[in-house]
């Protein structure tokens, strides 16, 4: 054992109390202003500001988007999942709190914001959302109380990085690759090369 490992440290007083575990957050992004929020993934953070910051840093850089919506994972309530589309319903009403409704077209696909329903509890919200949004083409309905959702403010909409990130996007990859090749190949050689095996990539 090294000498440093032989050192015994003495600490005065008790250890500080442990902090609560990070909350688990569901993240959704908006690809365009006024567009629906689309499920992007999950992350862990101790509070709302940090969760929004992490979401901007991570999911706001994965794809161009204008806003982020988050909620704690335990705040969501899903309907049953089925291979076949779920059937509609006849529940109606406008009492209770506002719930954001997310729908999933097919099992394994992402949830996309569909609208709002009002209901006194989660199960009623699912029933009313089924009546309003089950059009024979969705496999799952998710509801979250609107007050449990947090979004980036107008001042935080510029979450896409200022410098050029087009190389991360499929539509920008070919353009960037061609620009790099053109630095050490003549235009004639590059055109000949692109017209052969790589013609579909430029």
Please say whether the beta carbons of 64 and 169 come within 8 A: yes
Residue 141 has pLDDT above 80, yes or no: yes
Q: How confident is the model at residue 22 (pLDDT cuts 50, 70, 90)?
A: confident
pLDDT at 43: 94
- Measured over the CA atoms of residue 155, residue 62, residue 72 and residue 104, the dihedral's sign is positive
Higher pLDDT, 112 or 201: 112
Mean pLDDT of 39-45: 94
Region 183-193: mean pLDDT is 72
Q: Who wins on pLDDT, 86 or 155?
A: 86
Q: Which of 117, 139, 115 is nearest to 126 (CA)?
A: 117
With a cut of 90, say whether residue 190 has pLDDT above it: no
Angle, in degrees to the nearest 10, between helices 187-195 and 170-181: 140
Mean pLDDT of 114-128: 97
Q: Region 68-91: what's the mean pLDDT?
A: 90
Tell whether the model's pLDDT for residue 194 goes beyond 90.
no
């Amino acid at each position: 054992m090294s000498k440093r490992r032989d050192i015994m440290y003495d600490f005065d007083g008790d250890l500080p109390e442990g902090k609560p575990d990070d909350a688990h957050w569901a993240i959704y992004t908006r690809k365009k202003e006024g567009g629906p929020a689309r499920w992007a993934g999950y992350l862990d953070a101790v509070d709302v500001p940090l969760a929004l910051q992490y979401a901007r840093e991570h999911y706001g850089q994965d794809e161009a988007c204008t806003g982020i919506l988050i909620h704690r994972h335990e705040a969501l309530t899903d309907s049953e999942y089925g291979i076949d589309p779920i059937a509609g319903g006849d529940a109606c009403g406008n009492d209770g709190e506002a719930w954001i409704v997310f729908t999933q077209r097919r099992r394994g696909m992402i949830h996309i914001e569909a609208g709002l329903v009002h209901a006194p509890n989660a199960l009623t919200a699912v029933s009313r959302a089924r009546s309003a949004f089950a059009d024979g083409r969705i496999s799952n309905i998710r509801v979250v109380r609107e007050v449990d959702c947090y979004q980036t403010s107008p001042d935080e909409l510029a979450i896409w990085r200022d410098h050029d990130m087009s190389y991360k996007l499929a539509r920008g990859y070919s353009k960037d690759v061609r620009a790099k090749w053109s630095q050490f190949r003549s235009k004639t050689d590059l055109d000949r090369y692109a017209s052969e095996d790589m013609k579909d990539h430029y």
